[in-house]
């Protein structure tokens, strides 16, 4: 009786796995060379699959549920072992539990900046990061392609490979979309969905799938972002001259309110005078410019052509015409013309030229009679 109980105890009759971790993908059910009892109970919980491997080949895959390991429940293994006729005996097989739940909050990021061509900025470098969620979709394919005979396979062993594939697919997809750099932030949702589809086409051969992929941030090099900030600031400032005056006034006030000893006071005073001169010069220049803008233009110069001996001469200004009158070469009968007049007209009949001809004094009053 004691020998029978000893032999019975070496046979495994309950097979199950409770996952105490958050990162184990595959757990091999260890038997320490004990055989599995024919008719043993197998419990596969939700988010698990159990894979039986016999002599290096995948025999049977069990979905969530409770099973009695008999001929009808292990058809492939029964065929391999020759149990078609109900041969009731213990058997040896490797049992792998596959965790099919979602492994969440996995981080990804570009190892190096990605070069891309932008219509506005030309060649630029971008970095990106985010998170993703993945799970085992095909347990048999995952064991064959990735895990092999690893008895305890964790997420750390596959995350590096997934991140490398993400980096490649991200660069390829963003380049194909040709989205301007300034519009990338407005397209995170579309980028995440498109890259997720691209990514699953690449990793389906490993038996896994990424069912949630998120782009959290896409950034430019710090020096480029700094220049963009300056460009934005210039647009916000508006009138640069007025902004300079405002900044100068603030600097003068700060220098006056924060002296640092005599030397600091002298330095602050010197800076204040320099800034004041600069501001004063700027204001003076603006005032001069404003005065120039407000000064009326000079009156037009009156110029006439003169007919001398049947020939046109001139044009002459008023001062020259006055000298000609004094010299006798211009009289009231001399024909003159200027722009705007219909015909040549005697100078004495032109109202504007009356000032160039001397006015005769009135007659002298009569002399009173002497007594």
47 versus 253: which is more confidently predicted? 47
Check residue 223 and give its pLDDT: 83
Residues of the chain with pLDDT > 70: what percent? 73
Check residue 306 and give its pLDDT: 87
Three state DSSP letters for the chain: CHHHHHHHHCEEEEECCCCCCCCEEEEEECCCCCEEEEEEEEEECCCEEEEEEECCEEEEEECCEEEECCCCCCHHHHHHHCCCCCCCCCECCEEEEEECCCEEEEEEECCCCEEEEECCCEEEEEEEEEEEEEEECCHHHHHHHHHCCCCEEECHHHHHHHHHHHHHHHHHHHHHHCCCHHHHHHHHHHHHHHHHHHHHHHHHHHCEEEEEEEEEEEECCHHHHHHHHHHHHHHHHCCHHHHHHHHHHHHHHHHHHCCCHHHHHHHHHHHHHHHHHHHHHHHHHHHHHHHHHHCCCCCCCCEEEEEECCEEEEEEEHHHHHHHHHHCCCCCCCEEECCCCCCCEEHHHCHHHHHHCCCCCCCCCCCCCCC
User: If you average pLDDT over every residue of the chain, what do you get?
Assistant: 80
Least confident of 39-53, 110-124, 171-185, 348-362: 348-362
CATH 3.30.479.30 is held by the domain 103-224: yes
pLDDT band at 365 (very low <50, low <70, confident <90, very high): confident
Q: Stretch 223-246: mean pLDDT, rounded?
A: 70
Check residue 209 and give its pLDDT: 96
pLDDT at 290 over 80: no
Most confident listed range (175-179, 206-210, 228-232): 206-210
pLDDT at 84 over 70: no
Most confident listed range (111-115, 152-156, 265-269, 327-331): 152-156
Residues of the chain with pLDDT > 90: what percent? 32
Sketch the domain layout of the chain as residue ranges: 2-99, 103-224, 239-290, 303-356
Check residue 357 and give its pLDDT: 84
Check residue 335 and give its pLDDT: 92
Q: Stretch 26-50: mean pLDDT, rounded?
A: 84
199 versus 31: which is more confidently predicted? 199
Check residue 325 and give its pLDDT: 85
Check residue 3 and give its pLDDT: 43
Check residue 286 and give its pLDDT: 57
pLDDT at 268 over 60: no
CATH topology of domain 303-356: Dna Ligase; domain 1 (3.30.1490)
Q: Do domains 103-224 and 303-356 have the same CATH topology?
A: no
Check residue 88 and give its pLDDT: 56
- pLDDT tens-place string over residues 50-81: 999 887 888 889 999 999 887 666 766 656 55
Q: Stretch 264-288: mean pLDDT, rounded?
A: 54
pLDDT at 181 over 80: yes
């Amino acid at each position: 009786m004691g020998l029978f109980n000893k032999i019975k105890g070496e046979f495994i009759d309950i097979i199950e796995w409770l996952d105490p971790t958050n990162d184990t993908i595959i757990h091999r059910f260890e038997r320490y060379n004990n055989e599995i009892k024919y008719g043993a109970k197998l419990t596969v919980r939700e988010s698990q699959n159990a894979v039986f491997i016999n002599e290096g080949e995948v025999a049977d895959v069990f979905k969530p549920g409770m099973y009695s390991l008999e001929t009808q429940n292990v058809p492939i293994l029964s065929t391999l072992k020759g149990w078609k006729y109900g041969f009731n005996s213990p058997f040896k097989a490797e049992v792998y539990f596959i965790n099919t739940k979602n492994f969440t909050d996995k981080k990804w990021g570009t190892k190096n900046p990605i070069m891309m061509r932008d219509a506005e900025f030309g060649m630029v470098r971008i970095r990106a990061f985010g998170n993703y969620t993945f799970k085992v979709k095909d347990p048999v394919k995952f064991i064959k392609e990735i895990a092999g005979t690893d008895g305890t396979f964790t997420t750390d062993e596959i995350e590096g490979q997934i991140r490398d594939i993400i980096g490649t697919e991200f660069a390829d997809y963003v380049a194909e979309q040709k989205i301007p750099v300034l519009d990338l932030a407005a397209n995170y949702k579309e980028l995440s969905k498109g890259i997720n589809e691209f990514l699953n086409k690449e990793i389906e051969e490993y038996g896994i799938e990424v069912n949630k992929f998120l782009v959290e941030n896409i950034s430019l090099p710090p020096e480029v972002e700094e220049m963009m900030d300056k460009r934005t600031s210039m647009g916000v400032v508006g009138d640069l001259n007025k902004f300079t005056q405002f900044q100068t006034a603030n600097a003068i006030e700060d220098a006056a309110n924060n002296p640092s000893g005599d030397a600091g006071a002298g330095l602050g005073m010197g800076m204040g005078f320099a800034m004041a001169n600069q501001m004063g010069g700027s204001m003076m220049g603006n005032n001069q410019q404003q005065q120039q803008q407000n000064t009326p233009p000079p009156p037009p110069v009156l110029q006439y052509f003169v007919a001398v001996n049947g020939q046109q001469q001139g044009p002459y200004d008023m001062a020259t015409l006055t000298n000609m009158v004094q010299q006798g070469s211009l009289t009231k009968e001399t024909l003159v013309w200027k722009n705007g007049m219909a015909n040549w007209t005697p100078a004495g009949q032109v109202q504007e030229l009356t000032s160039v001809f001397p006015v005769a004094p009135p007659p002298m009053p009569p002399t009173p009679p002497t007594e």
